[in-house]
Amino acid sequence: MGRNKFKNRCSKTNITVKKLIMPTENLNLHDTVNSSLSGVSGPFILMFSGGQDSVVLGHILFTQKRIFHVIHVNYGLRGTESIEDEKFVIDWCEKYFIPHKVIRSPNDIKTSSNVQSYARSIRYKAAMDYSEELNVKNILTAHHLNDSAETFLFHAARGTGIDGLISLSSNQGSIHRPLWSVTKNQIKLYAKQNKLAWREDSTNHSDKYTRNHIRHNSLSFLIEAIPQALQGLRTTQKNLRELLSYVNENIEKDRKLYLNPSDSIDGGILLMPNLFNNSHGPLLLKYFLKGESSFDFNQVKSLLNSEVGAHFESKGWQIWKEREGLILLSPELAEKRTLKREFKIVNDTSGSLHGNFWDGKKWTSEKEWGIDDYQKTEFQELNYEMSPVIPIDIKGESWVWRTWSKGDYIFPFGMKGKKNVSDFLRDSGVPSCIKHLQLVLSNSKEPGEVFWIPGQILSRSIKTNEKKKYIRIYEK
């Protein structure tokens, strides 16, 4: 494609803009990008919208002869404009011989309650997927100093902690922002001096979106009133990062004083009582959870005097009152509470049993038992809670390995009468937050008599059985 033809087709949309206030310093964007990417190995994935910012960064990378690939997302939100954006990106990449990939976003983005947030998640996922596909480690975006200021004001106005005020930075794992210290005016100047063409997103000029409103009104007036506002906000964010580093270091020290691994639940966290006597307890709890929940501190404190089984939940996190104390469950651990196992028929020695196990002190989520033939019939050997010997009816009667249900009962070996499984589990100290997951051996999928609760009790009904064929369930 000829250069003039490219420029005619891809020239930016004519719009009315305010007169540029050029920076007093003559910043060399090439030096800035070189400095930012020092020590960062290529090739790169460049998130490329076709707008001025990404075109400038793409031009710099190309001029520096860096190897990079382009990823572009067509959201389909602006009709023909979105199609023209995609065509521009493809033409630009073909002109500079840049490998590229274009994806279309899901249709449900048009009905999303937060289009910008959803679009952001789509494009970052697309970049991550493309990075994995090509085995490329580092991803570049064209965010700049004005974006940093907008994000700061946006989160500050909505209410956030230190981490929210500095949620974007020049480097975040595999994401790098080489233009982070560059102002939008400096990017405009580079584009003008190098006669670059780009695409204008018409929605950027609308105040419909909060960030646009901040950009066109709050930030522009702030810069007009305080010309060094961008640099000032950058300094503030730098100071906050240093403060947050100090806070995090001390939070980790305090974590050992106020949080301990639970003795009863693998992966659970025990909230120590002295946390609730600390004047900074609410702040510590918030930082321990990294702002991922909104527990009311006094409400959580009230659990100390509550009955076992009382609990609160916030954004997937759960805090339970147990015999051990207050146990904190992460969203991942709390999710496991909802995963009940399918029942399994046991009628021979094939396969094995898998499930959870309570030994009176510790809950184990994954345990395995083997099954083999057992020839002896001395009944005194049948009452071992860890490896029971049970009869198998030669006529085909089977045992069922399932989660216990309300209405289950057992005739405990060595005790008179029967006992509800729910009462037995409570008395044996199984934590209330996971008690509903307890597996039992029964002879029916329906609630009724239970013959074995692993590691805890065996039914005396097994001893009085006169059947002569047995299998042994043994701990692996």
The per-residue pLDDT for range 141-181, each reduced to its tens digit, is: 999 999 999 999 988 898 888 888 888 888 889 999 999 99
Residue at which a domain ends, from 306, 336, 366? 336
pLDDT-derived band at 1 (thresholds 50, 70, 90) equals: very low
Bigger pLDDT: 474 vs 177: 177
Residues 216 and 193 in one domain: yes
pLDDT at 43 over 80: yes
Q: Which of 92, 120, 107, 121 is nearest to 9 (CA)?
A: 92
Q: Which of 184, 264, 233 is nearest to 21 (CA)?
A: 184
pLDDT at 463 over 80: no
Look at strands 138-140 and 175-176 and give their pairing.
Answer: parallel
pTM value surpassing 0.85? no
pLDDT at 442 over 50: yes
Neighbours of 1 (CB within 10 A): 10
Query: CA 358, CA 22: separation in Å to the nearest integer?
Result: 70
Q: Please, which residues bridge with residue 46 across strands?
A: 70, 140
pLDDT at 140 over 90: yes
- In the chain, how many domains are there? 3
- Burial letters 409-446, b for 16+ CB under 10 A, else e: bbbbbeeeeebebbebbeebbbbbbbbbbbbbbbbeee
> Letter for the amino acid at 409?
Y
Per DSSP, helices labelled H in 74-219 are 80-95, 115-134, 145-158, 162-165, 184-193, 210-213
Residue at which a domain ends, from 181, 210, 242? 242
* Percent of the chain scoring above 90 in pLDDT: 52
Q: pLDDT per residue over 425-435, tens digit each?
A: 999 999 999 99
Q: Tell me how far the alpha carbon of residue 402 is from its chain's centroid.
A: 31
Residues 96 and 204 in one domain: yes
Ranges 200-204, 262-266, 299-303, 393-397: which has the least confidence: 393-397
Show the beta-strand stretches assigned E in 384-428.
389-391, 399-403, 409-410, 419-420
Q: In the sheet where 311-314 sits, what is the strand order?
A: 259-261, 269-271, 325-329, 317-322, 311-314
Mean pLDDT of the chain, nearest integer: 86
Give the per-residue pLDDT at 356: 86
pLDDT at 391 over 80: no
pLDDT at 455 over 70: yes
Residues 226 and 312 in one domain: no
Identify whether 409 is part of a domain: yes
Residues 331 and 348 in one domain: no
Give the per-residue pLDDT at 210: 82
CATH number (domain holding residue 190): 3.40.50.620
Identify whether 123 is part of a domain: yes
Identify whether 324 is part of a domain: yes
Range of the domain at 65: 3-242
Q: What is the mean pLDDT of residues 359-364?
A: 88
Ranges 152-156, 211-215, 287-291, 456-460: which has the least confidence: 287-291
| DSSP designation for 462 | T
Identify whether 248 is part of a domain: no
pLDDT-derived band at 420 (thresholds 50, 70, 90) equals: very high
Query: CA 223, CA 150: separation in Å to the nearest integer?
Result: 12
Give the per-residue pLDDT at 113: 81
Identify whether 252 is part of a domain: no
Ranges 83-92, 110-119, 348-357, 447-456: which has the least confidence: 348-357
Q: Tell me how far the alpha carbon of residue 91 is from its chain's centroid.
A: 37
Identify whether 185 is part of a domain: yes
Pair 407, 447: CB distance under 8 Å = yes
Give the per-residue pLDDT at 435: 92
Query: CA 316, CA 29: separation in Å to the nearest integer?
Result: 44
Residues 362 and 304 in one domain: no
pLDDT at 341 over 80: no
Query: CA 436, CA 224: separation in Å to the nearest integer?
Result: 63
Bigger pLDDT: 126 vs 159: 126
pLDDT-derived band at 286 (thresholds 50, 70, 90) equals: confident
Residues 299 and 164 in one domain: no
Residue at which a domain ends, from 286, 319, 336? 336
User: If DSSP codes are grouped into helix, strand and coil, which group holds residue 177?
Assistant: coil
- Phi/psi of residue 248, each to 5°? -60, -40
Ranges 16-25, 68-77, 132-141, 360-369: which has the least confidence: 16-25
Identify whether 214 is part of a domain: yes
> Letter for the amino acid at 35?
S
Q: Please, which residues bridge with residue 318 across strands?
A: 313, 329
pLDDT at 394 over 70: no
Give the per-residue pLDDT at 386: 67
Residues 100 and 13 in one domain: yes
Residues 308 and 400 in one domain: no
Ranges 64-78, 106-120, 182-196: which has the least confidence: 106-120
Residues 179 and 149 in one domain: yes
Residues 77 and 182 in one domain: yes
Residues 118 and 228 in one domain: yes
Query: CA 322, CA 267: separation in Å to the nearest integer?
Result: 15
Write out the two tokens for 405. Answer: 């249900």
Residues 307 and 331 in one domain: yes
Identify whether 255 is part of a domain: no
pLDDT-derived band at 375 (thresholds 50, 70, 90) equals: low
